[in-house]
Amino acid sequence: MLLTMTTIHAPATDLGFLLHKHPDRFQSFSLSVGKAHVFYPEARADRCTACLLLEIDPVAMVRRRGQDQPPLLDHYVNDRPYVASSLMSVAMSRVFGTALSGNCQHRPALVGQAIDLSATIDVLPVRGGEAILHRLFEPLGYEIEATRHPFDEQFPEWGESPYYSVTIRGRKTVSELLRHLYVLIPVFDNEKHYFVGEDELEKLLAKGEGWLTEHPEKEMISKRYLKYRSSLYRQALDSLLDESEQTTSEVSWTPRREESLEASLSLNEQRHGTVLAALRASGAKRVVDLGCGEGKLLRELLKEKQFEQILGMDVSVRSLEITSNRLKLDRLSEKKAARIKLMHGSLMYRDRRLEGWDAAAVVEVIEHLNPPRIQAFERVLFEFAKPTTIVLTTPNREYNIVWESLPAGSFRHADHRFEWTREEFRTWAKDISKRYAYHCRFISIGPEYENYGPPTQMVVFERVSAS
């Protein structure tokens, strides 16, 4: 991967002083995972360009992982040698360490001067799409140009990849530009750092000094940079909070921080709350939770007297064990114990125990089913079990683009077999309603974006006749 930096600020060859690398030389540096090269394709008084080229050796990278992990194929065959990732940040600090820290013994006045700079990164993986590029670079005052690459030009049907060529332009000191890139390149990539360690937090705070505190997306940046290690992430937020209190005492950070943390934490609760409300409104007394997982909804159902009979069903015995322990089913009073039962079963097979219930909840389950088997599921639920009310939720794929903590890959969970857009979901639900004589209505769950809709979509089916 290649990082290219250009200035037209005369005399442009000053870039050589600022980077501490002579424009006439081609220099190479050994890294533990490969080599970094610095060279200047052009070095004139009116325009000067420096390149940092990284050559990653995948075998060295695997060896570096240590003896405790057996090497797997994907340790050798992956995108790491070809994309800008945390390895680029490692190379930047090795090769441009002095420039990053903003030192220049020979020309100290030069270092603090903001000049017209541009930087191009080939190739940058951006998890979360182009919107993330704008959200992270624009508050820092950069103009952005991004070209998205298809997976393979020969096979346009494979669609667009998460890889971009990105150029940013702004009036910055060289040290600012390097520090922004050092922190943000791994943030866009959002993969696990190869070198993540306890000192990662210090690096973030040091390289983020003077800009991260003010950045509106500082939470996403810290979270992704520290790759969800929540203890480090919270420490980072606390440190950023201290810093901002010193400089802008009238700005209150605490409520905003809590609000947005809570917002990202509580989607699951919002989902269960909305499902519960729909079940309550249906008047159901006997409810079955299909694919009940670890029993979060069951716990809520148990709290409500309206639900006289509750059944939790899942294909995973392990989940049922966890549910049983969590709800302490073996220690419930006789009266409560008579209200709830768990059963092992699959939504793929007709099961008489699922017949005759007032309502069924199917929360975040359908996307785990294999598409060719969806028809079997439809018959099991709508033709045989046919409860009066069915409340079903599933992710809205359109929202993934704004889902900041979306892991690499296009689905939210490794076990998701598909995710529907709003249109696909509605088409499916309307079609099924017609075929099995149900009415349906749709409800959004979670914060809605104008173009992408909500993170979770829900449908409530009501059976038309009691037949």
Enumerate the H helices of 172-266 as residue ranges.
174-189, 200-207, 218-225, 230-247, 254-265
Cα→Cα distances 366→249, 266, 274, 394, 454, Å: 49, 21, 18, 7, 18
Q: Which is nearer to ligand SAH, 142 or 357 (CB)?
A: 357
121, 132, 359, 365: residue in contact with ligand SAH (rule CB under 6 A): 365
Find the binding residues for ligand SAH in span 77-96 (CB under 6 A).
Answer: none
| Window 104 to 123, contacts with ligand SAH (CB under 6 A) | none
CB of 27 to ligand SAH, least distance (A): 53
The alpha helices in 329-400, defined as continuous H runs, are 334-337, 374-378
Is residue 107 a contact partner of residue 17, using CB atoms and an 8 Å limit? yes
How many residues sit close enough to ligand SAH to count as binding (CB under 6 A)? 17
Q: Find out whether 203 and 141 touch, Cβ atoms under 8 Å.
A: no
User: Does residue 36 interact with ligand SAH by CB under 6 A?
Assistant: no
Q: How far is the CB of 159 from ligand SAH (least distance, A)?
A: 26
Residue 390 touching ligand SAH (CB under 6 A)? no
Provide, rounded to whole angstroms, the least separation between the CB of residue 314 and ligand SAH: 5
Nearer to ligand SAH, 125 or 291 (CB): 291
DSSP reduced 3-state for 139: helix
Tell me the residue type at 133: L
Binding span for ligand SAH by CB under 6 A among 202-210, 235-243, 321-329, 341-349:
341-349
Least gap, CB of 386 to ligand SAH (angstroms): 17
Q: Which is nearer to ligand SAH, 369 or 445 (CB)?
A: 369
Is residue 146 a contact point for ligand SAH (CB under 6 A)?
no
Residues contacting residue 267 through CB under 8 Å, at least 6 positions apart: 445, 446, 455, 456
- Minimum distance, C-beta of residue 180 to ligand SAH, in the bound complex (Å): 39
Residue 379 binds ligand SAH (CB under 6 A): no
Using CB under 6 A, pick the residue from 110, 348, 374, 376 that binds ligand SAH.
348
Instruction: Draw the binding track, 280-319, toward ligand SAH (x: CB under 6 A; -: no contact).
Output: -----------xxx--xx----------------xxx--x
Residue number with CB closer to ligand SAH (126 or 292): 292
Q: CB-hemisphere CA count at 13 Å for 139?
A: 15
Task: Report the C-alpha dihedral over residues 300, 302, 306, 310, rounded to 10 degrees.
Answer: 110
358-383: b (≥16 Cβ within 10 Å) or e: bbbbbbbbbbebeeeebebbbebbbe
Q: How far is the CB of 269 from ligand SAH (least distance, A)?
A: 11
Residues near 383 by beta carbon (within 8 Å), at least 6 away in sequence? 436
Among 219, 364, 398, 419, binds ligand SAH (CB under 6 A): 364
Contacts with ligand SAH, residue ranges (CB under 6 A)? 291-293, 296-297, 314-316, 319, 346-348, 363-365, 368-369
